[in-house]
Structure 1
Amino acid sequence: MSVTTGRARRPPIRIVLVDDHSIMRQGLRAVLEREDDLRVVGEAATPAGAAAAVLDARPNVVLLDLKLSAGPQTDGLDLCRALTTAHPGIGVLVLTTFTEDRLVVRAVQAGARGYVVKDVDTTELVRAIRAVSRGESAFDARSASAMVRTLNGAGADREQLTDRELEVLRLLARGLSNRAIGGELYISETTVKFHVGNLMRKLLVSRRAEAVYAASKLGLL
């Protein structure tokens, strides 16, 4: 039964699947396309294939495994960074077997909006995809706990944020709007919005005020 019952008709969420196992991609496609609002528009098994698929299909969401066949154990992290840099509006959701805290944090630092492990149930996976497509964060229970542990521990430090994100964060703390921040830094309002989204994901918050509070706790302000 589709989870979309009673949901207003909207353009479907376009998804590209990136996993080195063909059978995994086939299974994901079969599961996701049961939902009226989800459409798989591309597949890839390698970083090069993923870059081409995203350029061709223009998806809203990329479902990304961290282990791809041609490279090192976590070559998906480099791909995540490349995709989010080249396509700032795209939502990358990591779907992997790796559960280490450091990999969750590194994925977020690379631009991923969410992180779930492959034993997640279908309902939670679909919810995560929808959240990421809306620009929100999406973590399963283990991944969320990893982020909390990192924020509360030595791993959450200034290096998580770029110099530009720190500049934006300091202006946020002064209560400036995106337009005003852009004026201060001589960048566009769209670019400011991109940096704000990145720093909020890295701080595991959903509101600007929460970002300022979390940054204060971490000694970033």
Structure 2
Amino acid sequence: MRVLVVDDHSVVRRGVVSYLDVLDDVEVAGEAADGRDALDVLERLHAAGALPDVVLMDLQMPRMDGVAATGEIARRFPAVRVVILTSFGETERVHAALQQGAAGYLLKDAGAAEVAAALYAAARGEVFLDAAVARRLTQEIRGPRIGLGALTAREREILVLVAAGLSNKEIAAELVISERTARTHVSNVLGKLNLSSRTQAALVAVREGLVEPS
């Protein structure tokens, strides 16, 4: 089983790789520092005919977070399974990632045996859910989705770009879309988050860990 490890903290990434190195029949296919980097790595591996079976994905990363990246992987590489690596308090992001096609999730303090179980389950087409987070998630998803959980993968990407200070024209150029489409996306983001300004949107992005505070 080939695994791609995605996390913006190099120490965490190396620790996960060390876990995987001791597992039988597991090969680390590569590493990536954020969602966009992961997609670039997957494109290169796909061109070489060497796509991984599973991506072990952090949720909170700069440029493109794990939720948006999971959605893109599901769309571009449907045979590749994504297992989310999460902190206990990230249930809203976990729910959004599952909606985008994630095959399960692990807590960041999971032991080697749990990591192995999650990866093998994903490779078999099954779902692995940490029990403690699953209980909390079940309680939270009974109500309507609010906040970041209401945004699509594209809208989350738009939010990150707004937080970076890009204008609608610059967002359009960055995402290769029309300025009118960019303006519509920004309006949808503000509406779903019940915000009245781009500055408020930037503050939300920082608070939720989508971007680093400047």
Q: Which amino acid aligns with 2:30?
A: G
The secondary structure found in structure 1 opposite 2:19 is helix
Tell me if 1:67 matches 2:60: yes
Which stretches of structure 1, 4 residues or more, deviate above 6 A after TM superposition? Answer: none
Query: Which residue does 2:15 correspond to in 1?
Result: 27
CA distance in structure 2 between the partners assigned to 1:97 and 1:29 by the alignment: 18
The secondary structure found in structure 2 opposite 1:42 is strand
Unaligned runs of 5+ in 1: 1-12, 161-221
The secondary structure found in structure 2 opposite 1:80 is helix
Tell me if 1:95 matches 2:85: yes
Provide the aligned C-alpha RMSD in A: 2.1
Tell me if 1:47 matches 2:39: no
Could you tell me whether the CA contact under 8 Å between 2:8 and 2:33 is conserved in 1? Answer: yes
CA distance in structure 2 between the partners assigned to 1:91 and 1:146 by the alignment: 23
The secondary structure found in structure 2 opposite 1:145 is helix
Distance 1:142 1:94, change over 3 A: same
CA distance in structure 1 between the partners assigned to 2:102 and 2:4 by the alignment: 14
The secondary structure found in structure 2 opposite 1:135 is coil
- Give TM-score, length-normalised by structure 2: 0.61
- CA drift at 1:70: 3.4
- CA drift at 1:134: 0.8
Deviations 1:44-99 (A, max 9, x none): 1022210121221400000000111335xxx2111110011111111100002253
Tell me if 1:114 matches 2:104: yes
Of all paired residues, the percent bearing the same amino acid is 35
Q: Highest relative contact order (Cα 8 Å, sep 6+), 1 or 2?
A: 2
Corresponding residue pairs, total: 142
Query: Which residue does 2:211 correspond to in 1?
Result: none
- CA drift at 1:124: 1.0
Matches within 5 A, 1:120-131: 120-131=110-121
